[in-house]
Structure 1
Amino acid sequence: MSLEQLLEQGAVWRASDTVGEPCVAGFYSGHEELDQMLNGQGWQPGSLVEMLYDTEGCGELRLLLPLLAASAERWVLWVDPPHIPYAPALKAAGVALDRLLLVRSNSRRDRLWCLEQALKSGCCSAVLGWLGDVPQQALRRLQLAAAQGQGLGFIFRPTACREQHSAAPYRLLLEPDQAPDKLAVSVLKRRGGWPLPRRVLSLRQKTVGRRAASLSALPGVVSARVRAGG
């Protein structure tokens, strides 16, 4: 495979790519240690973030709770989570249940279509999707949609997918830690910087008080079933 092809796929980062680019302040993640690992000191708007892990419930959702609890004006969309979100726990964490949408799809095609449309719309502060093995072109389309809508897309995939090329500007490897309320995070890829080694983060939720998105509170999760193109 040629260098040009690798660059096109996003498999190689060039330091010169960021020369002259302004550093956009990110959305505060709620975890100081994580913000230090991300360009712009937080989640970058218009970005697709891959969360790679093998142990379900290792902390992949708790890592995002501070951000989700800070969004009140736009929707938060969950597409095909492995389990129904536990509303009482989300409410206790400050997540606005009346701004949370749950979608079930019938196929991978429908799932990708829903994710792309949601990211592109600009109506969602965060879009969460659970995917397995998908074509590189599909991830590129999702990244382009996130850039267009200037929201945040979080894609949850098995660790084995790390061997595949990805257009997502951020790829995080999540591993459980022996200590409670801890999560090991390795930054495999990040926009404007080199990968970073494993670092153990605290998952104890903190108040999100700066550079936050915005989300409110109450009743129940709205759910729907979707089909591509309709």
Structure 2
Amino acid sequence: MSTSPLATLAGLPPGLVWPADRLARPAEAGVPTGFPALDAQLPGGGWPRGALIELLIDAFGIGELALLLPALRAAAPERWIAWIAPPHLPYAPALAAAGVRLDRLLLLTPSDPATTLWTIRQAVASGGCSVVVAWLPNAQSAALRRLQLAAEAAATSLFVFRPGSAARQASPAILRLRLQPAPDALALEIVKRRGPPLAWPLRLTLPERPAAFPGRADRRCSGLR
């Protein structure tokens, strides 16, 4: 792998600085997303490890959780999967049918936004979670920065769902994807990655959409539908 002249001049190790016309090459390979077309567009060939990953979405139930199923299934069995402040209650039989270990799943429902941020940070910093998935309708840049630093320090993958309008705001997240529904698929716009912008959205077919998820009328989470 060639070394960036800027990195050489600055005395930095390879991988911390990358040319703007190519993807960064992190020291550690990413976690495979389960979607080869997406892996090909991400530095490290998958979800970045120990990082804040933002998933920007305008409406729930478009298949956003199906996007995370491969990562949830691959979570280390001795560690937890924390599920924090979901907008609807997850339907356990559908998650189990999709291969998610319910005995390692922590469902946390804080009472207010400040407690939600504190809970996310504690779950990430504890080192006891392999993956943390959280929903943050509102978050300031400083709070997101603290979450990013906690994810780096604990080597924990942190997926945060935020409104689609947040794409216009700056964020310390390593990776930001905007998710939109498409016929029998999910369209992904790469808002931010360590590399050049992607000129077109990716279209991912989601093969796993368990019909066991009921509608949102009874407040159960329908993101796998």
- The answer to whether TM tops 0.5 is yes
Matched, 1:204 2:207: yes
Alignment partner, residue 149 of structure 2: 144
Aligned letter for 1:148? A
Which of 69, 74, 84 is residue 65 of structure 1 equivalent to? Answer: 69
The answer as to whether partners of 1:23 and 1:39 remain within 8 angstroms in 2 is no
Gaps of 5+ in 1: 1-14, 206-230
Query: SS in structure 1 opposite 2:133?
Result: strand
2:191 to 140, 163, 188: 188
Rounded to whole Å, the distance in 2 between the matches of 1:98 and 1:73 is: 10
Q: Which amino acid aligns with 2:197?
A: P
Which of 168, 174, 178 is the equivalent residue of 2:179? Answer: 174
Partner of residue 128, structure 2: 123
Q: CA-to-partner distance for each residue in 1:29-85, whole Å, 9 max, x for gaps?
A: 111111111110011111111000112111110000111012222100011101111
Aligned to 1:54: 58
Structure 2 unaligned spans of 5+ = 1-14, 209-225
Q: What is the letter of the counterpart of residue 93 of structure 1?
A: A
Change (3 A) 1:16 1:143: closer
Q: What is the alpha-carbon distance in structure 1 between the residues aligned to residue 43 and residue 27 of structure 2?
A: 8
| Cα contact 2:26–2:44 (8 A) shared by 1 | no
Q: TM-score, normalised by structure 2?
A: 0.79
Counterpart CA distance in 2 for 1:100 and 1:112 is: 19
For 1:30-41, list aligned pairs within 5 A. Answer: 30-41=34-45
Higher relative contact order (CA 8 A, sep 6+): 1
Take 1:22 and 1:41, find their aligned partners in 2: how far apart are those partners?
A: 10
Structure 1: distance between partners of 2:204 and 2:25: 29
Structure 1 residues 151 and 16 mapped into 2: Cα distance closer, same or farther (>3 Å)? closer
Deviations 1:75-109 (Å, cap 9, x if unpaired)?
A: 00011101111111110110000000000111111
Counterparts of 1:16-31 in structure 2, within 5 Å, are 17-18=17-18, 22-31=26-35
Partner of 1:6 in structure 2? Answer: none
Residue 173 of structure 1: CA displacement?
0.5
**Cα RMSD between the aligned structures?**
1.7
**% identity of equivalent residues:** 47
Return the letter of the residue paired with 1:177.
A
What letter is aligned with 2:196?
W
Matching residue's letter, 1:131: L
TM-score (ref. length: structure 1): 0.78
CA distance in 2, matches of 1:28, 1:150: 16
Q: Is the 8 A contact 1:126 1:153 kept in 2?
A: yes
Match of 1:96 among 80, 96, 101: 101
Q: Which structure is higher in strand share?
A: 1
Is structure 2 residue 120 aligned with structure 1 residue 80?
no
Looking at structure 2, the residues matched to 189 and 195 of structure 1 have their Cα atoms a distance apart, in angstroms, of 7
2:167 is equivalent to residue 162 of structure 1: yes
Given that residues 26 and 43 in structure 2 are in contact (C-alpha distance below 8 angstroms), is that contact kept between their aligned partners in structure 1? no
Match of 1:113 among 111, 114, 118: 118
